[in-house]
Amino acid sequence: MQKDEILTLDIEKLSNLGTGIARADGLVVFVENAVPCDKVRAKIVKVNKNFATAEIVDILEPSEHRVKPFCPMQKVCGACQMQMIDYDYQLELKRQMVEDAIRKIGGLDIEIPLTIPGPEIKNYRMKVQYPVSQTKVSKRLLAGYYKNKTHEIVNIKYCPVHPEICDRIIDFIRNNAAEFNVSGYDEKTHTGDLRHIVLRVSKYSGKILLALVINSEKIQTNIRAFAEKVFDNFDEISGVCLNFNPKKTNVILGQKTECVKGCDYIEEKLLDKVFKIGADTFFQINPSSAENIFAYVRDYVKKNFQSPLILDAYAGISAFGICLSDAAEKVVTIEENPESCRKAEESFVINKINNVEIHSGDAAEFFKTEKRKFDVSIVDPPRKGCTKESLDEVLRLTKGKIIYVSCNPATLARDLKYLCEKGCSVISIQPFDMFCHTFHVENVAIIQV
């Protein structure tokens, strides 16, 4: 097998990154934009020792599950890797991805049920983060997602997975920045003003919080004036913030955010609870699917415990703690982001909750000093999962069940394997489709200590 060689390939399945898997000359071949049961002619673009990657030249026999993507930018954008697959089959493929990870990485033989679908599969994404750059000659602003496996920005004018108002706001920013001498960011030279546009949309109220991430440590007069101009042109925008990120980094948000007009939050509502969400606080991008997950966890706790003491680790704005407050004697939450803790405390007041105890700091450090035993411990870590030390401490603190919420089947499988080696047993794993049309899948695992 050689680079640029054209092969006829039968696509067997999808990888955990959403690429098709075929086999040729004893190698696994990963094929972009392929669907299981496709027969394709594909061009080899790279050959490694154990695998190759290829791009489709022609689809000779399309899979019965192949559909026309509803977004014209699907192939070049790279954000919705599975949009050319019918939605019901997407749910089955995600179930298979979870099952493969649990068996191959976790070594566990657990039946995985069908992925619970997203209530909406279009206009569902309530958080938009677009990197910004500009053309070299015309200095025209570009904003959109990165082209797959590159840092080349695809200038997106229309995206059907987020609310249409987001397209209009971003287009207004693109078209009016030059009037205020606001330039796009060049990551190679670390020059330019505007690095990212971040929009948080409330499904509950329709209001939008806009954050402009700037390559500066302080507010420039022209950027403030531009931010106020954007605010004045959209009734839907409740506030405009400037986030300061002058570092050479791929991290989107810097440590400091300042609201320049309006208010610094939006409100979202899940399970009859209202949440305050800031520009730099974590909240699920798909509130409807998030509500499914919170309801699933709450219902499990209500059916299996009576007035339990609950630990909510990696709590963010204490979303689980707030949603479970009615089912618990007390919820103890731990979160390292101070702004998330502040927004959580404000949400406690809104919802008249007085049985959630919040701690601001590192979860691992909190675990070391905590003496109470919890009936239920909820862990919702980032994609990298938990450290062994953190899992040991959660085990020490839990006398009933651990509920592990994960957005990464691989690290979930790794951590479940470790917990089982420590004597735990996995009762169930339920996938949820939080990120429709992508290869990402959210999971809730129930673990008996």
- Residues in Cβ contact with 394 at an 8 Å cutoff, skipping those fewer than 6 apart: 311, 313, 367, 377, 379, 386, 402
- Annotated active-site residue 407? The verdict is yes
The active-site residue, picked from 166, 407, 424, 436, is: 407
Query: Is-contact 118 107, C-beta < 8 A?
Result: no
What DSSP state is assigned to residue 114?
A: P
What DSSP state is assigned to residue 213?
A: E
Separation between Cα atoms, residue 32 and residue 131, nearest integer Å = 23
- Residues in Cβ contact with 371 at an 8 Å cutoff, skipping those fewer than 6 apart: none
What DSSP state is assigned to residue 319?
A: H
* Residue listed under structure tokens 């592990």: 404
Buried b / exposed e along 57-80 (16+ C-beta atoms within 10 A): eebeeebebbeebebebbbebbbb
Q: How many helices (H) and strands (E) does the chain have?
A: 10, 21
Give one DSSP letter per residue of 372-407, joined into a string. Answer: --EEEEEE---TT---HHHHHHHHHHEEEEEEEEES
Closest alpha carbon to 403 in 306, 302, 313, 281: 313
Closest alpha carbon to 95 in 447, 446, 393, 439: 439
Q: Please say whether the dihedral angle defined by the alpha carbons of residues 337, 298, 102 and 285, taken in this order, is positive or negative.
A: negative
Q: Where are the beta strands (DSSP E) in 12-160?
A: 13-14, 20-24, 27-31, 39-47, 51-61, 127-134, 141-143
Closest alpha carbon to 9 in 32, 18, 81: 32
Q: What is the CA radius of gyration of the chain?
A: 23
Catalytic residue list = 407
